[in-house]
């Protein structure tokens, strides 16, 4: 399980404990909940189900939900937190912008700001050790990628940059987490991956890796002017190379 989902489960578990505490401080709601659960179990275990048994099940479920929502406001907090977390997680992974099709973007003018050339020698890049990362959400100048992370999902989007006509390198070392690299069509790719346990999806092929290393080439690698070498190593995690 990824670190962000572990955090989500820990918070939800703590909120559930608080909700249980509030429920036990409300004896009428607790009695109603227990009766509804017993009635639901009785209706489910009934061998010959009738329309009355289905009615019992529906009423029991409604009573259980209402008794939880009314007796403990913490349940509402759990639901709101779950909706927000799952929504943000989906936006982060997909990289979707809710306003990309807005009317004011139809005739949008993008101004490219130029800066003085930075010295390439001695440049430093600092990345977090834990957490999800998305590289390439905006237009950027390409530079070889090389970093190490303990845990988290990583997305490298090459759709917003232009790879030079040379050999380009992505080097990622990771403890736990999923890695996805989005590569434009026309770029030759070689993937070198090693892992204790994980899956690899590359050029329509699926590989199961168990304490192994794998090296795979795209069909257009030898003919492509622009080439990309992806080197990844993980303890546990999946790697996927997606054409865009």
pLDDT of residue 1: 45
pLDDT digits (tens, 9 = 90+) for 114-142: 545 555 565 666 677 777 888 877 777 78
Tell me the pLDDT tens digit for each residue of 65-99: 877 777 777 778 888 878 887 776 655 554 445 45
- Determine if the pTM surpasses 0.75: no
Write the CB contacts of 208 (distance below 8 Å, at least 6 apart in sequence). Answer: 199, 200
Q: Distance (Å, rounded) from C-alpha 11 to C-alpha 7?
A: 6
pLDDT (average), residues 182-207 = 89
Tens digits of per-residue pLDDT, 15-73? 888 877 777 777 777 788 888 888 888 777 776 767 777 787 888 888 888 777 777 77
| Higher local confidence (pLDDT), 44 or 111 | 44
What's the rounded Cα separation, in Å, for the pair 182 and 228? 11
Residue 239 has pLDDT above 80, yes or no: yes
8 A C-beta contact, residue 167 and residue 227: yes
Give the pLDDT of residue 108.
54
- Whole-number Å distance between alpha carbons of 193 and 212: 8
Lowest mean pLDDT among 53-57, 115-119, 153-157, 198-202: 115-119
Virtual CA dihedral for 149, 134, 144, 188, nearest 10 degrees? 110
Residues paired with 3 in a beta bridge? none
Write out the two tokens for 33.
Answer: 């909940």
**According to the model, what pLDDT value does residue 231 have?**
92
How many residues are given for the chain? 244
Residue 7 pLDDT level (bands cut at 50, 70, 90): confident
């Amino acid at each position: 399980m990824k670190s962000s989902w572990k955090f989500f489960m820990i918070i939800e578990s703590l909120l559930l404990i608080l909700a249980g505490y509030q429920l036990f401080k409300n004896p009428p709601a607790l009695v109603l909940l227990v009766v509804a659960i017993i009635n639901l179990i009785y209706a489910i275990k009934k061998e010959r189900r009738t329309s009355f048994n289905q009615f019992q099940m529906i009423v029991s479920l409604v009573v259980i939900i209402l008794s939880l929502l009314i007796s403990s406001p913490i349940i509402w907090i759990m639901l709101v937190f779950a909706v927000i977390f799952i929504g943000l997680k989906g936006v982060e992974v997909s990289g979707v912008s809710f306003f990309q099709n807005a009317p004011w973007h139809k005739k949008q003018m993008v101004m490219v700001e130029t800066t003085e050339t930075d010295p390439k020698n001695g440049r430093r890049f600092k990345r977090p050790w834990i957490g999800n990362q998305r590289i390439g959400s905006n237009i950027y100048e390409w530079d070889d990628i090389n970093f190490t992370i303990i845990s988290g999902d990583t997305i490298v989007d090459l759709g917003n940059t232009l790879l030079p006509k040379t050999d380009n390198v992505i080097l990622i070392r990771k403890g736990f987490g999923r890695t996805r690299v989005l590569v434009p069509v026309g770029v030759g790719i070689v993937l070198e991956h090693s892992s204790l346990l994980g899956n690899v999806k590359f050029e329509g092929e699926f590989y199961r890796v168990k304490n192994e290393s794998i090296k795979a080439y795209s069909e257009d690698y030898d003919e492509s002017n622009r080439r990309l070498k992806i080197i990844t190593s993980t303890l546990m995690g999946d790697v996927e190379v997606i054409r865009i």
